[in-house]
Amino acid sequence: MTELKATFPKGFLWGGATAANQFEGAYLEGGKGLTIADISPGGKERMALLRSNDYPLEINEAKYTYPNHVGIDFYHRYQEDIALFAEMGFKTFRMSISWARIFPNGDDAEPNEAGLQYYENVIDELKKHNIEPTITISHYETPLHLVKEYGGWKNRQLIDLFEKYARTILERFHKKVTYWMTFNEINTGILGSFFTLGMRNESLQNNFQALHNQFVASSKAVKIAHELNPDIKIGCMSIYATMYAYDSNPDNVMGMVEENRMFNYFCNDVQVRGEYPTYALKYFERNNITLDIQPGELDLMKEHTVDYLSFSYYMSSAFSKNPEHSDKSQGNFFGGVKNPFLEASEWGWEIDPVGLRIALCDLYGRYGVPLYISENGLGAIDQPDANFYVTDDYRIDYLRKHIEEMEKAIRLDGVDLFAYTPWGCIDLVSASTGEMAKRYGFIYVDLDDEGNGTMNRYKKKSFDWYQQVIATNGANLANN
Contact positions vs ligand BG6 (CB under 6 A): 19, 22, 184-185, 239, 312, 332, 375, 379, 423, 430-433, 438
Cα first-last separation, the chain: 40
Give the contacts of 277 (CB within 8 A, at least 6 positions apart).
261, 265, 266, 269, 270
Determine the Cα–Cα distance for residues 274 and 283; give it in Å rounded to an integer. Answer: 18
**Judged by CB, which is closer to ligand BG6: 44, or 261?**
44
- Residue with smallest beta-carbon separation from ligand BG6: 432
**Judged by CB, which is closer to ligand BG6: 238, or 252?**
238
**Judged by CB, which is closer to ligand BG6: 20, or 169?**
20
Question: Smallest gap, in angstroms, from Cβ of residue 78 to ligand BG6?
Answer: 19
Question: Smallest gap, in angstroms, from Cβ of residue 442 to ligand BG6?
Answer: 15
Beta bridge partners of 351: 343
Residue type, 368: G
Contact yes or no for 390/444 (Cβ under 8 A)? yes
**Judged by CB, which is closer to ligand BG6: 242, or 252?**
242
Determine the Cα–Cα distance for residues 329 and 47; give it in Å rounded to an integer. Answer: 16
CA distances from 248 to 1, 244, 251, 318, 362 (A): 37, 10, 8, 12, 20
Q: Containing H/E element for 86?
A: helix 74-88
Burial class (CB in 10 A: 0-12, 13-18, 19+), 229: middle
**Judged by CB, which is closer to ligand BG6: 107, or 397?**
397
Determine the Cα–Cα distance for residues 4 and 291; give it in Å rounded to an integer. Answer: 42
**Among the residues of 261-389, which ranges form H helices?**
266-268, 278-286, 297-303, 353-367
Contact yes or no for 180/128 (Cβ under 8 A)? no
Question: Smallest gap, in angstroms, from Cβ of residue 98 to ligand BG6?
Answer: 13
Question: Smallest gap, in angstroms, from Cβ of residue 430 to ligand BG6?
Answer: 3
> If you compute the radius of gyration of the chain from its CA atoms, what whole number of angstroms results?
21
Contact yes or no for 419/94 (Cβ under 8 A)? no
**Judged by CB, which is closer to ligand BG6: 150, or 440?**
440
Question: Smallest gap, in angstroms, from Cβ of residue 379 to ligand BG6?
Answer: 4
Residues with catalytic annotation?
A: 375
Question: Smallest gap, in angstroms, from Cβ of residue 71 to ligand BG6?
Answer: 12
